[in-house]
Structure 1
Amino acid sequence: MRFRDFLRASVLLLGAAATALAVVAMFAVARDDDATTAIVASAWLVAAAVAGTVRGARPRPTDGIARLIAAARTTSTLPELEPGAILVNRHWPLALACLVATVAGVWFPQVPAVAAGYALFVALRWRNQPRAVQAIEERDGVEFWIERGSPLRAPRLLRLPGLRKIEAEPAAKARG
């Protein structure tokens, strides 16, 4: 699976998790009829959205993604194309956290609200990462693919030859 596609899928899954957890939190708050928890949860979601938007505005990769790219192993063969298995291997902690927060929301409505805010923050912070990786790929003439591995180890990337993007020269510069 191409790394930038993996990042896009991650942003969408985090956004979906944030939405689902916010709905669970609001149902739990409505069941308890607790205005204070509703106000604090709403403020937390707004704060997470603002912080994620501000932190995600930079057009370069995060430090963790930059380390993954720098440590990518060079190869000339495509890995096995198993996007479903890779997504499940890498996103099972997200699914587990959503399940735990949902169950905990039965007794503590604050838990899914906090989890929703965190998922929203990360989704908004990572929203520009696929474009940053694409810019590196175009600059270096490579493609980064995520290698299927153990779900308990850090992900590894493969660096494959790709196509370099060559910018057109302006007409005045080309003539002179």
Structure 2
Amino acid sequence: MTFRQLLRSTVLLSFGSASVLALLVVLRGYANDDTGPVAVSAIWWVVASAIGIVVGRHDAANPQIASVLADARAAEQLPEHRPVRTLLNRLWPLFVASLASGAATFVLPQVTGVAAGFLLIWGLAWRRQEHAVQAIEERDGVEFHVERTGLIEPLKLVRLPGLRRNRPEHKRQASSA
């Protein structure tokens, strides 16, 4: 699995989990005829969205991504291609947090609402990182792939030769007056 695919999947799964958790909060409020937790959660979701937009507004790779890219080892062979296994291996904390927050809906819907807000922040903060990695790959003529690691080991990447993109430079034409 390429690193860009992992980043895209992380963002989409974060938004999907946030949507499901928000739906659970709304359904719980509707079932109990209690709009208090729903209203407070909705305000938190708006605030969380604003925080995520501000944090993720930069087009450059964030320091964590830059560090992982810099530490990537060079390779000549593709690592094993198992996207589902890679997603489960790298995103298990997201899945566990989503399931635990979803289960909390029946006892404390506010916990589920707060978790949905944090997933919104996460997804919005990371939404441009895929494009930053793509720009680095095109500039350097490489492609980054996720290497198989243990569940609690840090993410490791391998750098494979790719296609370099050469852009023609535009020269300014001096106007004669």
Shorter chain as denominator, the TM-score bin is over 0.9
Offset of residue 172 of structure 1? 6.4
Distance 2:159 2:97 in 1: 31
What's 1:7 paired with? 7
Which amino acid is 1:95 matched to? F
Aligned equivalent of 2:150: 150
Q: Which residue of 2 aligns with 1:94?
A: 94
Report the more deviating stretch, 26-35 or 155-164.
26-35
1:24-39 to structure 2, matched below 5 A, reads 24-39=24-39
Match of 1:120 in 2: 120
2:158 alignment partner, SS class? strand
Q: Alpha-carbon deviation of 1:171? A: 6.8
How far residue 58 of structure 1 moved from its aligned partner, in angstroms, is 0.3
CA separation of 1:172/1:46 partners in 2, compared to 1, >3 Å: closer, same or farther?
closer
Alignment of 1:1-176 (within 5 A): 1-170=1-170
SS at match of 1:169: coil
SS in 1 for 2:138: helix
Distance in structure 2 (CA, Å) of the matches to 1:42 and 1:172: 51
One-letter code of the match for 1:147?
Answer: E
* SS of equivalent to 2:26: helix
* Residue aligned with 1:64, SS: helix
What TM-score do the two structures reach when normalised by structure 1? 0.93
Unaligned 5+ runs, structure 1: none
CA–CA distance in structure 2, aligned partners of residues 157 and 113 of structure 1: 34
* Counterpart-to-counterpart distance in 2, 1:169 and 1:99: 51
Q: What is the number of equivalent residue pairs in this alignment?
A: 173
In 1, Cα distance between the equivalents of 2:172 and 2:55? 39
Alpha-carbon deviations, 1:78-130, whole Å to 9, x = none? 11111111011111111111111111110101011011111111111111000
Q: CA deviation at 1:31?
A: 2.8
Query: Once superposed, what is the RMSD of the aligned Cα atoms?
Result: 1.4
Secondary structure of 1:24's aligned partner? helix
User: What amino acid does structure 2 have at the position aligned with 1:50?
Assistant: A
CA shift, 1:46, in A, is 0.5
1:168 to 1:107, Cα distance in 2 relative to 1, 3 A:
same
